[in-house]
Amino acid sequence: MESANSCPAEGLLKMLSGKWKPQIFRIAVEGPVRFNGLLRQLEGASKQSVAVALKELEENGLLEKVVIKLKPLHIEYNLSQKGQSLIPVFRQLESLQ
């Protein structure tokens, strides 16, 4: 239950807090992403830190994990509907820089 003093932006900031989550979200805005593609784009990121960030973004409902049943198996991450609804917020923040 939210307290009367909570700010709506506070929950969003908690969902996106962390070293790699904002960058992963920004990359996912451009379209589906795969794990190794993220690793290439996130210079200095470890496999474990990216895996944890992806899991948390998925648990927070911002990303959806899509399993493509090919051989070998492919897994992509897409912005969920909730994640897509945040794109205008990010665009507005970018315009402030």
Average pLDDT, 10 consecutive residues per value, the chain (97 residues): 64 81 93 94 95 95 92 91 90 78
Residue 39's domain comprises 8-95
Number of domains in the chain: 1
81 within some domain: yes
CATH (domain of 55): 1.10.10.10
Q: How far apart are CA 2 and CA 91, in angstroms?
A: 27
3 within some domain: no
- Phi/psi region, residue 37 (left: phi>0; alpha: psi -120 to 50; beta: rest), is alpha
Q: Are strands 74-79 and 63-68 parallel, antiparallel or unpaired?
A: antiparallel
Nearest partner of 28 among 15, 43, 41, judged by Cα: 41
Residue 5: per-residue pLDDT: 62
Coil, helix or strand at residue 17: coil
